[in-house]
Structure 1
Amino acid sequence: MVRVIPMASSIRPTLSSFRFSPLFNRSPRFSFSHFSTAVPQSQSFGIKACRLLRQDGNSMRVMSSGNVSSPLTAASSENVLEWVKQDKRRMLHVVYRVGDLDRTIKFYTECLGMKLLRKRDIPEERYTNAFLGYGPEDSQFVIELTYNYGVDKYDIGSGFGHFGIAVDDVSKTVELIRAKGGKITREPGPVKGGKTVIAFVEDPDGYKFELLERGPTPEPLCQVMLRVGDLNRSIEFYEKAFGMELLRTRDNPENKYTIAMLGYGPEDKTTVLELTYNYGVTEYDKGNAYAQIAIGTDDVYKTAEAIKLSKGKVTREPGPLPGINTKITACLDPDGWKTVFVDNIDFLKELE
């Protein structure tokens, strides 16, 4: 994940619904050491004397020196990158940390209309998770909140932007939030240079939510906005490594920024990633509050290959998590934003 500000040793970050999450997240089913120590050689690649390159049903390749080789031919590289475009991918959830879980749940359910889907307390590891959204995790994008015992404040940083929520009536939603004591940072009105009615509100921890006036949509939790230092570089990476489609770009020279919307379907039907480039700004402080996005994939091994071929950094080699069969891989984009890919079938089993 992005470079994270050191935390007190008593904090135990959690795992997401696939049993991974925030800083180096934990799960009640396996320990933090699974992310900080070497996994069995048969479960990873890039380890000397390892016999397996990947477990995708194809033959394995081992270099004579005993080091596992990477795909060497242009044909194999091209095949992997072409496969990415056909992979069945979906943005699954976003993970971040809050200072008062009950307070945040109250705000999200009463003001933003979300549902508390499930809650998990792990006292021996001193953290609690809560999953919220507008529909079930197996079909909709949701939020995973993490509360670490005794930590009531985090640094959101300057790199994280906002989450987007589609609502029928922005003005009515804003008045409801105001009546509940919520903070309105941008009153309802048309977006600059457009017609869409929007507003901005803040949750109790300072995370910003953009309210967008839209008709009925299957995915109300519709955007995650992150700031990047080179928009063209980021677009190329997300298209090539993640298989996302560039839906549109919009330049705003008056306010000196450009945005790009990317995703796995149209904006009005799926959750999308909004990347923002501010003229002349190449780096951002990512703080220690926002953690990562999770994306489903049919093959974490091929996904890791594609990330490496696209010059991304794989931070967790693909393979089953020790103790369970859920296969994942984790990576950083060119700006250091973390994403975790999870096997689609394993994810559904985890939700059973």
Structure 2
Amino acid sequence: MATNTSLYKMNHTMLRVKDPKRSVEYYQNNFGMKLIRKLDFEESKFSLYFLAFDSPGAESAGRQWTDREGILELTHNHGTENDENYKVNTGNVEPHRGFGHICISVDHLEKACEKLESNNVPFQKRPSDGHMKHIAFVLDPDGYWIEIVGQKQSDSASASTNLDVYHFSHTMLRVKDVEKSMQFYRSVLGMSLLRTCELPEARFNVYFLGYAREGEERDYRGEENPLLDREGVVELTWNYGTEKEEGFKYHNGNEQPQGFGHLCISVDDLDAACARFEDLNINWKKRLTDGKMKNVAFILDPDNYWIEVIQNESIKSRVSW
């Protein structure tokens, strides 16, 4: 059986956390995410917490976790919560920049930020800071950046924010050579370029990619953001000139110091998808046959970021997660 990339999903983004209780409560209380799955690997001494928006109106509400987009996986290595010296790499401090942020879209930017402020959530950037008034950045318990963008604005003083309509919009990664990265995400992973934002004055561009949906405009370049009400998007940020710097590389989050772990796609047929990757001569981190876990594979993108590949269990049953 051949694999069909149109059935792939940008399933989740993995971040390592120090204290899972604190982190899970943070995402639940401040953004309304729900813990939809927990996997414990006692022998290997780590646990995985899968959080997603799951209200009745959420994009993937009620679906089996491998059949979703917009999941946040928090990985806890047992004992870190009691280690005074444990600290993650957020990806935004030199010389370990790479992963940038996750982004949550909200119904009303100012009201959402007011709620976060009242919950004593620390801000990296408020809407009133700098020139970009349409975004904010807050910090999670480990210092990871979370971009906040508004789906719509309201002039009503009585307007409030509704957590039930929030979305896990995208994950941002910095890339060295945008042509190589675009070739990988489009031709290898089968994603479509959904939106481009060119910012020559600031000397960087951003490219939004995902698995295209019926009727969705491709490579949108207008001022409005058409992707705020959908999930499963990857934002690639390219700073001009990095592709020409010999020896330049971004930190992939898995070398020390660790933080961001990987993106994950779920596929229609895991064996067929991996056979296709093999034919494309991609770089492997882990083949299905490597190690004890025979139901996951990891491939590497041009910047050495890890991409996990798993079976969409709603299409073809393979393992009981």
Q: TM-score, normalised by structure 1?
A: 0.67
Q: Structure 1's 313 and 219: CA in aligned 2 closer, same or farther, altered over 3 A?
A: farther
**1:57-92: CA deviations, max 9, x gaps?**
xxxxxxxxxxxxxxxxxxxxxxx7xx655x411111
Match of 2:234 in 1: 273
Q: SS state of the match for residue 87, structure 2?
A: coil
Q: Could you tell me which amino acid in structure 2 is paired with residue 214 of structure 1?
A: Q
How far apart are 1:116 and its partner, in Å? 2.1
Q: Structure 1's 90 and 101: CA in aligned 2 closer, same or farther, altered over 3 A?
A: same
Give the Cα separation in 1 of the matches to 2:20 and 2:235.
26
**1:241-298: CA deviations, max 9, x gaps?**
0000011222111211111111013533332110001123342123411111111112
Aligned partner of 1:232 among 179, 198, 202: 179
Match of 1:184 in 2: 123
Superposed, 1:240-259 pairs within 5 Å as 240-259=187-206
Q: Could you tell me which amino acid in structure 2 is paired with residue 178 of structure 1?
A: E
Match of 2:208 in 1: 261
Match of 1:171 in 2: 110
Match of 1:89 in 2: 8
How far apart are 1:121 and its partner, in Å? 4.2
How far apart are 1:167 and its partner, in Å? 0.7
Q: SS state of the match for residue 235, structure 1?
A: helix
Match of 2:37 in 1: 118
Match of 2:307 in 1: 339
Q: Structure 1's 336 and 100: CA in aligned 2 closer, same or farther, altered over 3 A?
A: same
Q: Is the 8 A contact 2:107 2:166 kept in 1?
A: no
Unaligned runs of 5+ in 1: 1-55, 57-79
Q: Is the 8 A contact 1:329 1:342 kept in 2?
A: yes
Q: Structure 1's 322 and 149: CA in aligned 2 closer, same or farther, altered over 3 A?
A: closer
Q: Could you tell me which amino acid in structure 1 is paired with residue 77 of structure 2?
A: N
How far apart are 1:329 and its partner, in Å? 2.7
Q: Is the 8 A contact 2:9 2:68 kept in 1?
A: no
Q: Is the 8 A contact 1:134 1:140 kept in 2?
A: no
Q: Is the 8 A contact 1:300 1:319 kept in 2?
A: no
1:132 equivalent to 2:51? Answer: yes
Q: Is the 8 A contact 2:14 2:260 kept in 1?
A: yes
How far apart are 1:190 and its partner, in Å? 10
Give the Cα separation in 2 of the matches to 1:119 and 1:104.
14
Give the Cα separation in 1 of the matches to 2:100 and 2:71.
17
Match of 1:68 in 2: none
Match of 1:31 in 2: none
Q: Is the 8 A contact 2:176 2:249 kept in 1?
A: yes
**1:81-114: CA deviations, max 9, x gaps?**
xx655x4111111212111111111211111221
Give the Cα separation in 2 of the matches to 1:321 and 1:286.
21
Q: Structure 1's 319 and 127: CA in aligned 2 closer, same or farther, altered over 3 A?
A: closer
Q: Is the 8 A contact 1:320 1:327 kept in 2?
A: no
How far apart are 1:189 and its partner, in Å? 5.8
Aligned partner of 2:89 among 142, 155, 169: 155
Q: Which structure carries more relative contact order (alpha carbon 8 Å, separation 6+)?
A: 2
Give the Cα separation in 1 of the matches to 2:189 and 2:211.
10
How far apart are 1:317 and its partner, in Å? 2.4
Aligned-residue RMSD, C-alpha: 3.0
How far apart are 1:312 and its partner, in Å? 2.5
Unaligned runs of 5+ in 2: 55-61, 81-85, 92-96, 153-161, 217-226, 243-247
Give the Cα separation in 2 of the matches to 1:146 and 1:310.
30
Q: Could you tell me which amino acid in structure 2 is paired with residue 173 of structure 1?
A: A
Superposed, 1:1-352 pairs within 5 Å as 56=1, 84-85=4-5, 87-135=6-54, 136=62, 137=65, 138-151=67-80, 152-157=86-91, 158-188=97-127, 197-214=134-151, 220-265=167-212, 266=216, 267=227, 268-281=229-242, 282-287=248-253, 288-318=258-288, 327-345=295-313, 350=319
Give the Cα separation in 2 of the matches to 1:101 and 1:293.
19
Give the Cα separation in 1 of the matches to 2:191 and 2:7.
11
Q: Is the 8 A contact 1:262 1:273 kept in 2?
A: yes
Q: Structure 1's 263 and 108: CA in aligned 2 closer, same or farther, altered over 3 A?
A: same
Q: Could you tell me which amino acid in structure 2 is paired with residue 289 of structure 1?
A: G
How far apart are 1:144 and its partner, in Å? 1.4
Match of 2:59 in 1: none
Q: SS state of the match for residue 269, structure 1?
A: coil
Identical positions, percent: 31
Q: Is the 8 A contact 1:294 1:342 kept in 2?
A: yes
